[in-house]
Amino acid sequence: MKTPYVQTLLVGKVKQVGNPHATNPLDKQWESGMFKENTEMEVWLSKSGLKGDEVADKKNHGGPEKAVFAYPVSHYDYWQCERNIKGIDIGGMGENLAVALIDEHSVCIGDTYSFGDSILQVSQPRKPCWKPGRRHRTIDLAMQIQDTGRTGWYFRVLKEGFVEGGEELTLLERPYPEWTIARCNEVMYVNKDDLILTEKLVACELLAESWKRSLVKRLNGK
């Protein structure tokens, strides 16, 4: 089995796009840090993320549990060919790590990888928001991401260090092989009535607290 790797490393600053006077909602001004650009330089990765990278919505993005966002490069053929979203390509989902030979079915909560000088640990799937849809002018893209399970996932940083594109993601530990990103998405979005399964996912120690809170609300009937 080939070792997965980071095909492209991406960082980006928050910027405003659109026209504040536009009448079409898709053309109105908005702010985002999802416009990442490929960097071939070595970059310092801290517990808060890549140096030089920014997020606009700090309430819902960023922080130690969402320090780095990874997205499989293989998904872009699907979005282009099967969903006819033109122009979407590597970086189109706002990812920091465009990863190859790995996806939601082969990555598990708590998976720990070495990447360059750093050590990363999978913390949660990404909950799709409205911004990819706005960027790619596809109103229901968040729902499409959710329904297809092509969400990508977040890493927390256990060890800081320099990283660069092209480096391997070497699996060091897999404490929860039963909790793939794909299965977590199924619990969150598909098997909503299975409270026993929900309880089991909440009990996964290395699942990010934000995901646990959402699931606990479900268990409490909220």
Question: Kind of pairing, strands 112-115 and 97-100?
Answer: unpaired
Q: What's the whole-model pTM score?
A: 0.96
Can you tell me which residue has the tokens 């050590």?
119
Kindly report, residue by residue over 4-13, the tens digit of the pLDDT: 999 999 999 9
Band (1; pLDDT cuts 50, 70, 90): low
Kindly report, residue by residue over 135-144, the tens digit of the pLDDT: 999 999 999 9
CATH architecture entry for 5-176: Beta Barrel (2.40)
Tell me the two tokens of residue 159. Answer: 């060890």
Band (14; pLDDT cuts 50, 70, 90): very high
Kindly report, residue by residue over 70-95, the tens digit of the pLDDT: 999 999 999 999 999 989 999 999 99
Kindly report, residue by residue over 23-61, the tens digit of the pLDDT: 998 889 999 999 999 999 999 999 999 999 999 887 777
**φ, ψ dihedrals at 52, nearest 5°:** 90, -5
**CA 183 – CA 195 distance, rounded (Å):** 14
Kindly report, residue by residue over 114-128, the tens digit of the pLDDT: 999 999 999 999 999
